[in-house]
Amino acid sequence: MTEIEILTKQTEDAYQWVHNLIDTIPSEKWDELPEIVASNVTWQVGHLVISIYYHSVMAIVGHQQDILEQLPMRDYTKLFSFGTVAKNSIGKMNPNQLEAHLKIIEARSIAVITALPIESLPTDLEPTKMPHPIANTKFEAISWNVKHTMWHCGQIALIKRVIDKPYDNGIRRT
């Protein structure tokens, strides 16, 4: 397997984990804000929309005009960027729309990764207004996207446990 194939597989797996989790949470509970976590599913999914775009699309190939025309990315940034407060997202987004937007960004992310020439992985990131907090190269940014996505899967799983029930990932109990 090439590095591109490994990064693609890891990315696809992380995205599948997100959907395995959010698909089990009733949409009417997405805005619930448990005090112990101070976050909700709405914020987590909205944050993944902008973070996946940033880490594995914009930092890799630059802004994508068609995505900016399809999705209200400025609204997403105001509601879901690092440092925003989850309570401000309550009632602002429809869970079905959020999930649809997440799928659009995930598909573009996979398309960008699979189209990359392997020799571009160690090259510098595309210039952005905000320097990447972790990565200097395209490989590092894509790798961080996987880790960051799984980090938020953990948060979503914790929120699910509090507002609904623990996630059953198919582990058999004796």
Q: What does the pLDDT look like over 26-81, one tens digit per residue?
A: 999 999 999 889 999 999 999 999 999 999 999 999 999 999 999 999 999 999 99
Segment 151-160 mean pLDDT: 97
Task: Give the whole-number percent of the chain exceeding pLDDT 70.
Answer: 97
Alpha-carbon distance of 8 to 111, in angstroms, equals: 9
What does the radius of gyration of the chain's CA atoms come to, in whole angstroms?
A: 16
For 38: left if phi > 0, alpha if psi spans -120 to 50, otherwise beta; the answer is left
Tell me which of 169 and 113 has the higher pLDDT. 113
Cβ-Cβ contacts under 8 Å for 8 (sequence gap 6 or more) = 110, 113, 114
Paired residues of 124 in beta bridges: 137
Mean residue pLDDT of the chain comes to: 95
Task: Give the whole-number percent of the chain exceeding pLDDT 90.
Answer: 89
Q: What is the model's pLDDT at position 165?
A: 86
User: Residue 166 class from Cβ within 10 Å (0-12 exposed, 13-18 middle, 19+ buried)?
Assistant: exposed
Q: What is the DSSP letter of 18?
A: H
Amino acid 59 reads: A
